Each structure stands twice: as C-alpha cells, then as structure tokens.
Amino acid sequence: MSDKTAVATDKAPQPPARFSQGVRKGNILQVAGQVGFDPATGTPVGPGLAEQTLQTLRNVQTVLEEGGSSWADVVMMRVYLTDTAHFAELNKVYDEWFSGIEGPLPARTTIYVGLPAGLLIEIDALAVLD
C-alpha cells in the first residue's frame, strides 16, 4: 500500500520533464530543484541573483505548502550557485528570508555548478513531516 503522492500545482513552475514538483511518501516530502521562474510565465523573474533567489525560495515554499508542509518541516536546503562571487549576496537574501521563519533552521549545503543559461540559482529541499 503506497501512500506516495505528487505535488502538481500551477502556482509553481512546471517541470520540463517527467518528474514531480514535489513528492511525499510516508513522512518525507522532497521538493524538486526550483529555480527563479515566475510560475505565470515560465521565465526567470530577473537577471539578478537577489530576485532569482527570492523567487526560488517562493517556489520552494509553494511546493512545500501544496504538499501539506511548511518551512517548519524542512531539514535540508541544497543551494546551487554558478559563481562563488555570489555567496555574500545569496546569504543576504537567504538570511533575510529565514529571519522571518520561526524554529530551528534547516541545514544547508552550497555548491557551485553549471545551470542552464540565464539561471543563477537552484534550490531543492527535504522536509520531514510530523
């Protein structure tokens, strides 16, 4: 008996392939890699890191909420940047975001990778539900 359920919402960007925006099974909710796309247009919200980071965090939150979860359940954030020079600006936006979130902060890993043209950040998240 599988209780696996997929998040499928038009409030977050649509997956470009056969994968789910998020998926829950048991008490685990995994959010797929989100980027700074405006869900309404499917294109990046802006060329800059700050706007893309904010939109990416919003998209992660949308998938969490559509999956019946919230930041309170998130144990891990995986942050993918394209340039080590972006670390300070990421942290500024990230810290402001999480200053508004109550409770223990998620863990995080940040690495520098390649992303499709125009994208400066990608984030996925692992949540453990009550």
Contact between 40 and a copy of itself by CB under 8 A: the answer reads no
Q: Which two tokens stand for residue 7?
A: 């998040």
Contact between 27 and a copy of itself by CB under 8 A: the answer reads yes
Short-list 34, 6, 3, 1, CA closest to 20: 6
Nearest approach, Cβ of 52 to a copy of itself (angstroms)?
A: 15
Q: Which two tokens stand for residue 121?
A: 């950040």
Q: Residue 63 in contact with residue 22, Cβ under 8 Å?
A: yes
Pick out residues in 95-124 that bind a copy of itself (CB under 8 A): 95, 98-99, 103-117, 122, 124
Contact between 17 and a copy of itself by CB under 8 A: the answer reads yes
The span from the CA of 32 to the CA of 84, in Å, is 23
* Given 56, 73, 120, 121, the residue binding a copy of itself (CB under 8 A): 73
Other residues' Cβ atoms within 10 Å of the Cβ of residue 14:
11
Summarize as ranges the residues that interact with a copy of itself (CB under 8 A): 1-6, 15-28, 30-33, 72-73, 75-78, 80, 84, 87, 90-91, 94-95, 98-99, 103-117, 122, 124, 126, 128, 130
